[in-house]
Amino acid sequence: MEAFNHRLNTYIDSWMGPRDPRVRGWFLLDDYPPTFVFTILYLLIVWLGPKYMKDRQPYSCRRILVVYNLALTLLSLYMFYELVTAVWQGGYNFFCQGTRSAGAADDKIIHVLWWYYFSKLIEFMDTFFFILRKNNHQITFLHVYHHATMLNIWWFVMNWVPCGHSYFGATFNSFIHVLMYSYYGLSAVPAMRPYLWWKKYITQGQLVQFVLTMFQTSCAVVWPCGFPMGWLYFQISYMISLIILFMNFYIKTYKKHGASRKKDYRNGVVASVNGHTNGMTPAETVKHRKPRAD
């Protein structure tokens, strides 16, 4: 295995160029296979999980969902705060920022962005909860695409551009995740569901995030500062794909079926956010489908 990792690392390095030595030896970053294997296992569970649960009763997961979403809310809040303070401390330039220009602030951002990368592995649990609760309709292409790609993209980001202009998307996304996972956690508490009115605005916030990230990335193309151009072009392309997918979801969810979803909301049903929700759904409130205890 060590020989395989060495050959693979040599190939990746020949393609991508020298890695950033500041992350050498960090957990999960030296070799790509662990990240790739986690992704393959995730996709296998997405495929086989619903088949396994087909003839079984759904699990409730209510209590663990509250804890899980609270933990991700706090982690997202921590990352957002640390990134904002580091960007301020380092005097980061919105239009373009190199990866070796802010000293201690760069180091702080690298450490926070490792947690951001690792959080993408934790967020695989979103999908596993759908499977356990038999909410298979929530496992959309958008949901799987977003989860599977982010972990892999951020492995490469952490090895080659772990600070500098990479900060913006992660900072904005951490803020959105504070709102999103707090919503998820509250939606798992039945008494709170009638008061959850902001799901639509979370999706709007995500679309704003993608547009602003694409704009900020484009600024570094127009006014370069040494940040690798290949990464900028890739990020612009990836943001375009997310804008298209999230816009399609938004139109289908809030435009074409707005009337029926408003009716569901009045009846205490929580609709999905960004193609999925890990709060409680109608299937778990139907009396003749009682979930098993955790």
What integer pLDDT is reported at residue 256 of this predicted model? Answer: 67
Closest by CA position to 125, among listed 179, 191, 71, 80: 71
What integer pLDDT is reported at residue 198 of this predicted model? Answer: 82
What integer pLDDT is reported at residue 69 of this predicted model? Answer: 96
- Residue 101 DSSP SS3: coil
What integer pLDDT is reported at residue 98 of this predicted model? Answer: 96
How far apart, in whole angstroms, are the C-alpha atoms of residue 80 and residue 78?
6
How far apart, in whole angstroms, are the C-alpha atoms of residue 103 and residue 44?
42
What integer pLDDT is reported at residue 134 of this predicted model? Answer: 95
Contact predicate 269/281, CB 8 Å = yes
First-to-last alpha carbon distance for the chain, in angstroms, is: 38
What integer pLDDT is reported at residue 269 of this predicted model? Answer: 45
If you compute the radius of gyration of the chain from its CA atoms, what whole number of angstroms results? 20
Q: What is the pLDDT along the chain (294 residues), one digit of tens a residue?
A: 778 888 888 888 888 999 999 999 999 999 999 999 999 999 999 999 999 999 999 998 999 999 999 999 999 999 999 999 999 999 999 999 999 989 999 999 999 999 999 999 999 999 999 999 999 999 999 999 999 999 999 999 999 999 999 999 999 999 999 999 999 999 888 888 888 888 889 999 999 999 999 999 999 999 999 999 999 999 999 999 999 999 999 998 887 665 554 555 454 444 455 544 555 444 444 433 333 333
How far apart, in whole angstroms, are the C-alpha atoms of residue 193 and residue 190?
6
Q: State both tokens at 97.
A: 């920022």
Find all residues with CB under 8 Å of 46, minimum gap 6, and list them.
Answer: 127, 131, 139, 144
Known catalytic residue: 137? no
What integer pLDDT is reported at residue 260 of this predicted model? Answer: 55
What integer pLDDT is reported at residue 56 of this predicted model? Answer: 94
Find all residues with CB under 8 Å of 74, minimum gap 6, and list them.
Answer: none
Options 6, 143, 146, 165, the catalytic residue: 146
What integer pLDDT is reported at residue 265 of this predicted model? Answer: 45
What integer pLDDT is reported at residue 278 of this predicted model? Answer: 59
CB-based burial of residue 171 (10 Å sphere; 0-12 exposed, 13-18 middle, 19+ buried)? buried
